[in-house]
Amino acid sequence: MLDTASLYKKLYQHMGPQGWWPAETQIEMMLGAILVQNTNWRNAAYAIQSLKEATNLDPHHILRLDLETLQQLIRSSGFYKNKAKTIHALLKWLDVHDFDYEAIANYYHKSMRDELLKIKGIGSETADVLFVYVFGGIEFIPDKYTRRIYEKLGYDQIETYDKFKKHIELPTDFTNQDAKEFHALLDNFGKNYFNGKNTEKMTFLDQYFVK
C-alpha cells in the first residue's frame, strides 16, 4: 500500500505538473468551485461563461444582480437556486474584507477553513478547495475520484468526504503548491481511469497501485 508521499511522487512522475485550477482569476476559480458541485465541469463552464458575458466576472457586478437573474445565468450548473445563494453569500463575505485574499488569510490564519464553513452553502470540499487554491492553505481534498483511487489502494472508510479525510495526513514538508498539484493529479487521473478514457493511465494504476 503506497503512502501519500509515494503516491504523489508516482503521479507527478507519470503525469507532470497540472497547472490547475482552470481559471484566469481568483473570482473565476471560486465561482467554478461552487458551480461544479454535484455536476460535471462542462455544465459549470457553461455557467461561468454566461456569468462572464453578463458581468465580466466583476464580483461587485455579480453582487448587484438580483437572485433570480443570477439563478438564470448559472442554470446550466444544476441546483442553481442554492448555488446562487452561495455565490452571493461568499461574495458578500469577501466584500467585507475588500477582496484582499492575503489579508483574509493572515487575519483568520489557522481558523480559515472554519470561517469558510460558516458561509451558507460552503461545505467541506468547497472550503478545502478555496483554502488551498485561494488562501494558500495546505489541505487534503478527497473528492470522489480521490476516494476511489485510495479504495483501489486498499484503503477503507472512504464512504464520505469528512470520514475519509480524518484517515489521511499530508507529508509534513508539503507546500501549498504540493497540495494544489496533488489534488489536481488525483482528480485528473481519476477522471481518466474510472471513466475509461485513457488505457495508458488504466495500465499505470493497475500496475503500481492496486492492492
Instruction: Specify the pLDDT at position 202.
Output: 54
Alpha-carbon distance 47 to 58, whole Å? Answer: 15
201, 161 Cβ separation under 8 angstroms: no
Per-residue pLDDT of the chain (211 residues; tens, 9 = 90+): 568 898 999 899 988 999 889 899 999 999 999 999 999 999 999 999 999 999 999 999 999 999 999 999 999 999 999 999 999 999 999 999 999 999 999 999 989 999 999 999 999 999 999 999 999 999 999 999 999 888 888 888 888 999 999 989 999 999 999 999 999 999 988 888 887 655 555 566 666 555 4
Instruction: Specify the pLDDT at position 19.
Output: 85
Hey, what amino acid is at 145? Y
26-133 CATH pick, 1.10.340.30, 3.90.950.10, 3.90.1170.20, 3.40.50.1820: 1.10.340.30
Among 155, 161, 123, 120, CA closest to 140:
161
Alpha-carbon distance 105 to 125, whole Å? Answer: 18
Alpha-carbon distance 147 to 158, whole Å? Answer: 6
Question: What is each CA distance from 139 to 27, 49, 78, 181, 202, in whole angstroms?
Answer: 20, 29, 27, 11, 27
Whose grid coordinates read 461552487?
A: 34
Instruction: Specify the pLDDT at position 195.
Output: 75
122, 130 Cβ separation under 8 angstroms: yes
Instruction: Specify the pLDDT at position 200.
Output: 59
Instruction: Specify the pLDDT at position 20.
Output: 87
Q: How many other C-beta atoms are found inside a 10 Å radius of the C-beta of residue 141?
A: 23
Instruction: Specify the pLDDT at position 130.
Output: 98
